[in-house]
């Protein structure tokens, strides 16, 4: 084919990218593949559980991926913020409100209100701790990946011990607000109410992040900062203030994720941070470092596959995530939507 | 004549000539004497601490090879350690009676698994950014930790495995009297660990001074330039990871020999990695001798800090939070870790070397 021919040929005759269509078809095919072994009703239940699980993973991973994309910091302390949010919001705040009789026995409005207050408390706790961590510790190690990972791992370790000092080392039961207890039955498919709440909150957060990133000036600065940090400074913005703001916002997301998570699991324990940081990391790697949409996809993949495999072969549940990560890294070493 | 010698050879010749003039040589002799004499003390706690210091020195020195000499942060080092410890524990526990060839088999299996895993890990993670290596190794290490807990048919889960060793290492062996000193199975095991760990440490020293070790250092300091000089950094980094991980699994076998007990939390736990990191940081990155200081500091702190904190907490018996803080002595190590990275990034040996260099000028 000569150059002229290529130029005259329409690049995309039907107006669709065939490669993209093929990839989407494959993905949907794999999504429905477990139907071969699982009956449809169980499959529907597992899918909703997986979506809820994925949304909660996304809450943790989104903050981590934005912080990495903008600030070039791999923040292991994200797990500490997650655990702190879980303890403050899900455990301490809900127990406090329970003394007022709001959570498990109050009216519908009271229980929903208590849940919202708990989420706010968790987010606030995460934001506050994140602000301090960024200002006191991470500020000193900008630009040195090795030190950043080590020191934030140290923060995670220290916070796990501090949580044990304050709240004790044993797992504690977390109350579920009355309005979200129990489940609803749709054509024999039994759906836990809280899972629907988790999916809605996750979608809201995803939408909110996209809105902020795409429609506001702050989002413009952040997106530009991901592309080129020096250029932002040259145009006169105080990048350090943006860093602190983004770090605090990411920390608040981790705190909210922690609160949601412990209500979902109905228990909370000190090592919850370490356990989730590993899930979040797998999600971030699969999605591509720095990409919010990528980590959304990654979270759904991990959440769904974890649930299907945990149902079919319980012992392989965590292994399958690592396997998926390995396969994706083999094909695209920079993640699904990451940059080369 | 001299021009035909490589810099490495020149360095070795000067090393040989100056050996007995250096004070560090006599420190080493002193250290060896203390380690040889440790089991003669009546206090078992002292012998236990000395044995653990030797074992962890090997592990931390091999970690320093990966972190300090190659500049790669691995969170899987505890996993390789655990693979070694579990390979000897599982073989001894699941066979009807333990024989010497089981020990040999454990070494072979541990080496094979760790070399294979390290190669796979390095192959997947080093293709893009070095940061991936940290993340992937953490995920893999956590997977093995969970495997150790959940695969309870094989590993007995969180309870851990207690096992017995063959021949003169077995607890029931009567021991012999040599020159009026009684040598029981504990002391024999101690000396076995002494010999093996010292030879492994010397091996590591030799490794970092070899041409290969020098290439690793050059890749750490300036990867682009080493590539430009014609070294394939990918290959060299894989050598370093595989070598360090294999030594770590041997350290795990020594740990199994000494304790005759393994459980997932102590040998596979991911937070154990923070302990290794602390030991490396305190001693100083890229200084193998530093790992001895870091490990000695850490092990002695681990043995005595809870007692000190408890006596302190007993002064305020009414304050509940004081007692809880005394229980969580690891929090203080975590704090120490953060402070050490912020204020003394070069560690003890690095700082001392800087000071000596300054005085020379």
Give the residue with greater pLDDT, A153 vs B132. A153
Asked if the Cβ–Cβ distance from B128 to A319 is below 8 Å, we say: no
Strand-pairing partners, residue B87, are none
Give the closest residue to B186 by CA, choosing from B296, B48, B85.
B48
**A145, A158, A164 ranked by CB distance to B335: nearest:** A158
Q: How confident is the model at residue B248 (pLDDT cuts 50, 70, 90)?
A: very high
The answer to whether B136 contacts A325, with C-beta atoms less than 8 Å apart, is: yes
Q: What is the mean pLDDT of residues A223-243?
A: 82
CB atoms within 10 A of CB A45: 20
The answer to the question of residue A20 being in a domain is no
Sequence-distant (≥ 6) Cβ neighbours of residue A249 within 8 angstroms: A63, A66, A127
Of A206, A235, A207, A209, the residue nearest A221 (C-alpha): A235
Given an 8 Å threshold on Cβ–Cβ distance, is B331 in contact with A326?
Answer: no
pLDDT (tens digit per residue) in B170-209: 766 666 677 666 777 788 888 888 999 999 999 998 888 8
Pick from B288, B269, B332: which is nearest to B141 by CA?
Answer: B269
φ, ψ (nearest 5 deg) of residue A192: -65, 130
CATH number of residue A309's parent domain: 1.10.3470
In a domain? residue A244? yes
From A106-115, A281-290, B320-329, B339-348, the region with the lowest mean pLDDT:
B320-329
Domain count, chain A: 1
- According to the model, what pLDDT value does residue B180 have? 65
Mean pLDDT score across all residues of chain B: 82
Question: Around Cβ B144, how many Cβ atoms within 10 Å?
Answer: 20
Which residues in chain B are contacts of A160 at CB distance < 8 A? 271
Residues 6+ apart with CB under 8 A from A248: A127, A130, A131, A134
Would you say residue A309 has pLDDT above 50?
yes
All structural domains of chain B, each given as residue ranges with its CATH number in brackets, are 42-296 (1.10.3470)
**pLDDT tens digits for A112-121?**
888 888 889 9
Better-scored residue on pLDDT, A249 or B127: A249
The arithmetic mean of pLDDT across residues B64-74, rounded, is 85
Of B127, B132, B341, the CB nearest to A154: B341
Q: Is residue A17 part of a domain?
A: no
Residue A28 lies in a domain: no
State ipTM. 0.79
Q: Å from B237 to nearest chain A CA?
A: 16
Considering only CB atoms, which chain B residues are within 8 Å of A285?
Answer: 132, 135-136
Percent of chain B with pLDDT over 90: 11
Res A129: pLDDT: 92
Q: What is the number of CB-based contacts under 8 A between chain A and chain B?
A: 103
- DSSP state letter for A88: I
Residue A15: inside a domain, yes or no?
A: no
Q: If you measure CA to CA, which chain B residue comes closest to A288? A: B132
Beta bridge partners of A192: A183
Write the residue in B138, B147, B331 that is nearest to A162 by C-beta.
B331
Kindly report the nearest CA distance between residue B274 and chain A, in angstroms: 7
Q: Which of A95-104, A190-199, A287-296, B168-177 has the lowest mean pLDDT?
A: B168-177
pLDDT tens track for B251-272: 999 998 888 888 888 888 877 8
pLDDT over 60 (residue B2):
no
- Find all residues with CB under 8 Å of A161, minimum gap 6, and list them: B328, B330, B331, B334
- What pLDDT, on the 0 to 100 scale, is given for residue B49? 85
Q: What does DSSP assign to residue A33?
A: G
Q: Do A278 and B139 touch (CB under 8 A)?
A: yes
List of chain A residues whose C-beta atoms are within 8 Å of the C-beta of residue B127: 329, 333
A6: pLDDT strictly greater than 50:
no
Q: Of the ranges A117-126, A330-339, B295-304, which is most confident?
A: A117-126
**How distant, in Å, are the alpha carbons of A18, A146, A309, A325, B80 from that of A24?**
10, 37, 22, 18, 39
Q: For residue A323, give every residue at least 6 positions away whose Cβ sits within 8 Å of its Cβ, in sequence order, or none.
A: none
Of the partner residues A137, A164, A282, the one whose CB lies closest to the CB of residue B139: A282
pTM of the model: 0.82
Residue A110 in domain? yes
- The percent helix, strand, coil of chain A (3-state, each to 5) is 75, 5, 20
- Judged by CB atoms closer than 8 Å, whether chains meet at A149 and B131 is answered as yes
Q: Which residues of chain B does A162 touch, with a Cβ-Cβ cutoff of 8 Å? A: 331
Residue A74 lies in a domain: yes
Confidence of residue B12 (pLDDT cuts 50, 70, 90): confident
Asked if B139 lies within 8 A of A325 by C-beta distance, the reply is yes
Contacts of A79 (CB under 8 A, 6+ apart): A156, A273, A274, A275, A276, A277, A280
Backbone φ and ψ of B45, nearest 5°: -60, -35
What domain range is A315 assigned to?
A: 38-331
């Amino acid at each position: 084919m000569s150059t002229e021919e290529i130029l005259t040929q329409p690049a995309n005759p039907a107006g669709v990218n065939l490669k993209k269509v093929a990839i989407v078809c494959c993905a949907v095919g794999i999504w429905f593949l477990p139907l071969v072994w699982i009956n449809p009703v169980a499959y529907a239940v597992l899918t909703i559980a997986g979506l809820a699980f994925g949304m909660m993973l996304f809450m943790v991973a989104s903050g981590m991926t934005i912080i990495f994309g903008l600030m070039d910091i791999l923040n292991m302390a994200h797990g500490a913020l997650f655990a702190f949010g879980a303890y403050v919001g899900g455990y301490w705040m809900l127990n406090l409100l329970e003394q007022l009789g709001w959570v498990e026995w109050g009216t519908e409005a009271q229980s929903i209100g208590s849940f919202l207050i708990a989420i706010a408390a968790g987010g606030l706790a995460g934001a506050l701790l994140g602000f301090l961590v960024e200002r006191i510790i991470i500020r000193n190690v900008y630009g040195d990946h090795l030190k950043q990972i080590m020191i934030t791992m140290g923060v995670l370790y220290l916070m796990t011990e501090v949580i044990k000092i304050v709240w004790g080392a044993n797992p504690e039961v977390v109350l579920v607000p009355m309005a979200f207890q129990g489940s609803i039955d749709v054509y024999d498919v039994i759906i836990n109410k809280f899972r629907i709440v988790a999916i809605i909150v996750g979608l809201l957060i995803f939408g909110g992040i996209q809105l902020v990133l795409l429609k506001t000036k702050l989002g413009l600065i952040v997106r530009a900062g991901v592309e080129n940090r020096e250029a932002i400074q040259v145009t006169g913005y105080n990048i350090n203030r943006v860093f602190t703001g983004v770090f605090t916002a990411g920390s608040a997301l981790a705190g909210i994720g922690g609160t949601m998570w412990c209500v979902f699991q109905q228990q909370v324990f000190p090592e919850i941070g370490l356990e989730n940081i590993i899930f979040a990391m797998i999600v971030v790697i699969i999605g591509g470092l720095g990409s919010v949409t990528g980590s959304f996809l990654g979270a759904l993949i991990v959440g769904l596959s974890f649930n299907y495999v945990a149902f079919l072969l319980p012992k392989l549940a965590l292994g399958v995530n690592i396997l998926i990560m390995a396969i994706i890294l083999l094909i695209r070493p920079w993640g699904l939507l990451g940059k080369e | 004549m001299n021009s035909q010698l490589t810099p490495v050879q020149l360095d070795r010749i000067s090393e040989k000539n100056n050996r007995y003039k250096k004070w560090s040589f006599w420190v080493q002799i002193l250290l060896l004497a203390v380690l040889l004499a440790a089991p003669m003390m009546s206090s078992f706690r002292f012998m236990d601490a000395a044995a653990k210091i030797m074992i962890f020195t090997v592990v931390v020195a091999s970690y320093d090879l990966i972190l300090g000499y190659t500049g790669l942060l691995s969170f899987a080092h505890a996993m390789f350690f655990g693979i070694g410890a579990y390979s000897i524990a599982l073989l001894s526990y699941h066979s009807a009676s333990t024989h010497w060839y089981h020990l040999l088999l454990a070494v072979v299996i541990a080496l094979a698994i760790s070399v294979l895993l390290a190669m796979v890990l390095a192959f997947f993670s080093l293709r893009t950014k070095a940061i991936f290596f940290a993340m992937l190794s953490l995920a893999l290490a956590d997977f093995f930790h969970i495997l150790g807990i959940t695969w309870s048919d094989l590993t007995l889960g969180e309870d851990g495995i207690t096992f017995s060793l063959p021949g003169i290492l077995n607890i029931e062996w009567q021991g012999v009297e040599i020159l009026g000193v009684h040598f029981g199975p504990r002391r024999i095991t101690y000396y076995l660990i002494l010999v093996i760990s010292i030879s492994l440490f010397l091996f590591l020293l030799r490794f970092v001074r070899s041409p290969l070790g020098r290439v690793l250092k050059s890749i750490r300091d300036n990867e682009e330039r080493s590539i430009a000089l014609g070294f394939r950094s990918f290959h060299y980094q894989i050598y370093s990871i595989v070598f360090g991980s294999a030594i770590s699994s041997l350290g795990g076998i020594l740990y199994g020999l000494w304790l005759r007990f393994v459980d997932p939390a102590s040998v596979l736990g991911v937070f154990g990695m923070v302990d290794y990191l602390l030991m490396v940081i305190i001693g100083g990155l890229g200084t193998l001798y530093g790992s001895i200081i870091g490990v000695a500091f850490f092990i002695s702190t681990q043995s005595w800090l809870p007692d000190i904190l408890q006596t302190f907490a007993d002064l305020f018996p009414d304050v509940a939070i004081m007692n809880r803080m005394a229980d969580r002595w690891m929090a203080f190590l975590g704090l120490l870790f953060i402070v050490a990275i912020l204020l003394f990034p070069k560690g003890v040996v690095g700082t001392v070397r800087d000071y000596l260099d300054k005085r020379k000028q």
